[in-house]
Amino acid sequence: MEINFRCGECPIRHRAICAYCDEPELERLDDIKSYKAYSAGETIVWAGEEAPLIGSLVSGVATLSRSLKDGRRQMVGLLLPSDFIGRPGRKVAPYDVVAANDVLICQFRVNKFNILIDDTPALERRLLDMTMDELDSAREWMLLLGRKTAREKIASVLVIFARRGAELQHSELGDGLRFEVPLTREAMADYLGLTIETVSRQFSALKKSGVIIMEDARHIRVPDYVRLLNEASDDSDGGVIA
């Protein structure tokens, strides 16, 4: 199936790399882009691979990860709709990009994009803002990886999933919310620097304490959102980050 729509109708138009572009600029982007679908589990970019992809995640969830020689693996980023993939001008990808779900990507012709960004301040400025946001998230994740307990780690991802769920359904974050866990236990373990077994055990523990209700392994209800937040031990000051 051939997917295609013009930038003007794109669901991520106002949050992606193109957010600051005006109509003429959008048209130039339209010329060098195409949508491509990947299915769950598919590796979109291999670390070490040449001519990596440049584009935006339109829908679904993808993961960025890196491994040590002996196979220990750490996720270094979670890509949600509107997130940018790739680094202009880079020849070799430093991370694996894997579709966690079925995923749709707006891909740009690499060479054309590298030229376009050089004389489109709106693109460059947006990329700067997005990269700085990413850096803030990466640093917040460093705090999680270095200092949080397994239980706090699980509560923290659940908060992320809850936010994403609320956004997808255009609903409010609050008590009684229900959302999907878009990653396998293995992917979560790689994200949190834990093992599968520990992830599973902490889900069970949070269930037992009544913090979450598990409809099944992939669907969670949260009777008391503030309690979940507290379990995550996030900064009181709300982590002012932008």
Partner DNA sequence: GGACAAACTTGACCTAGATCAATGTTGATT
Partner DNA sequence: AATCAACATTGATCTAGGTCAAGTTTGTCC
2 binds its own copies (CB under 8 A): no
Residue type, 209: S
131 binds its own copies (CB under 8 A): yes
Q: Which one of DNA, its own copies, none interacts with residue 125, CB within 5 to 8 A by kind?
A: its own copies
Contact segment (CB under 8 A) with its own copies among 14-22, 33-41, 138-146, 165-173 equals 138-146
148 binds its own copies (CB under 8 A): yes
Q: Could you tell me the CA-to-CA distances from 68 to 48, 74, 134, 195 in Å, in that order?
A: 13, 9, 23, 16
Give the burial class of 24: count Cβ atoms within 10 A of its Cβ; 0-12 exposed, 13-18 middle, 19 or more buried: exposed
Q: Which is nearer to its own copies, 34 or 184 (CB)?
A: 184
CA distance 43 to 38: 8
Of positions 40, 122, 127, 213, contacts its own copies by CB under 8 A: 127
* CB of residue 88 to DNA, shortest distance in Å: 33
3-state helix, strand, coil in the chain (%, to 5): 40, 20, 40
Residue type, 238: G
Polymer length of the chain: 242
**Interacting residues with its own copies between 71 and 110 (CB under 8 A):** 72-74, 76-77, 87, 90, 92, 94-95
CA distance 95 to 143: 21
50 binds its own copies (CB under 8 A): no
68 binds its own copies (CB under 8 A): yes
Q: Which is nearer to its own copies, 84 or 179 (CB)?
A: 84
How many CB atoms lie under 10 A from the CB of residue 132? Answer: 12
CA distance 151 to 111: 45
Q: Which one of DNA, its own copies, none interacts with residue 87, CB within 5 to 8 A by kind?
A: its own copies
Q: Which one of DNA, its own copies, none interacts with residue 140, CB within 5 to 8 A by kind?
A: its own copies
